[in-house]
Chains A and B, each alone.
Chain A
Amino acid sequence: MKSFKRKTSVNAEISTASLPDIVFLLLFFFMVTAVIRTDEKLVKYEVPKAKHINKAEMKTLIRELQVGLPANARLGSEPLISDGSHYLKINELVQWVNQEKATLPEAYKDQMIIVLKADEAVKMGLIADIQQELRKSNARKVLYRSKENI
């Protein structure tokens, strides 16, 4: 208690006891209100597990496709393709790839990496159709997103 006694009684400090409270209030405010991704997940997917996985090197070249059952059950129980913000039909994929390629610098257009986040229960028929469209649109680098299985 000695430390609280000051030599000069005029030197009054601002009380900082309530600062942690303010800080926590702010923290909770941001935790509650922060929306990190504005677009909701349109499809549900659980990527399969694999052991021998690599990282994609250049993150700017990555474009993502999600395949899985629609999050909204009213859209049916067939797997759908989504680019994160819209549903894509299989015949729209070529156009989508070309749109995405247009956003890349000229030198990297052929090196676009498509990250395919597909649910493990999706049938290969749909995956093969996607592969076919990607081949058609010359976006041939595909990364099958998978979880590390140790």
Chain B
Amino acid sequence: MKITRKLNQEPVNTGSMADIAFLLLIFFLVSTTILQEKGLMITLPPDKEKQEAMPVNDRNLFKISINSKNQFLIQDEPREDLAGLKEEVRMFILNPAAASDLAESPKKAIVSLKSNRGTDYAAFIGVLDELKGAYYDIYGERVGLSGDQYRHLDLDNPRQLALYERGKEGIPMNISIAEPNK
């Protein structure tokens, strides 16, 4: 083997750069856990002492309770599953036919979700999911989108933000989480 060589003609070998890059890529791919904070966002009511009791007309209240066996009581009617709940809630809030037993106006409509201390968290989330879905459907409908499209609007984009604001304007998401009974 020849050890002597012309130093001025020696190029640096860059063939391994790709390998190093791939190594780094793979390392970061493996090590970073993408922060995925997705879920059902809700704002809890203020603390009891600061809260004023507000009389609510019975027709404006959509009552859902879940017992400790995860059975549902929706508007005083026992149910085994949540089929059709989304549509019912939507009709209750919008009340297009101005029925006397449904909400006076979307603004006044309140959906109350009451659970029992023995209710499974999953059952509670299941109902909350449907309720949020109903509201998103309403919001989406007002701006000509489906509920899912509305939910995926990019709020950093001014045009989509405008749609978002227009959709929910005047219809607050009145989901009340009542304290569970024992």
Contact = CB atoms under 8 A, between A and B. Distances in A.
Report whether chain A binds chain B.
Answer: yes
Given A48-B126, A144-B125, 6 more contacts: A31-B27, A50-B126, A52-B147, A120-B120, A127-B124, A146-B40
B69 interface: no
A62 interface: yes
B40 to A, nearest CB: 4
Interface stretch (B10-18, B54-62, B89-97, B99-107): B10-18
Interface residues of B, number: 58
Interface string A26-40: 110011001011000
Contacts of A48: 121-122, 125-126
A3 interface: no
A52 B38 CA distance: 10
Given A50-B125, A52-B133, A135-B47, A124 B33 contact: no
A31 B31 CA distance: 8
- Chain B: interface secondary structure? mixed
A140 interface: yes
B127 to A, nearest CB: 10
Interface of B: 1-2, 4-6, 9-10, 13, 15-16, 19-20, 22-23, 26-27, 30-33, 35-48, 66, 115-122, 124-126, 128-130, 132-133, 136, 147, 151, 155, 177, 179-180
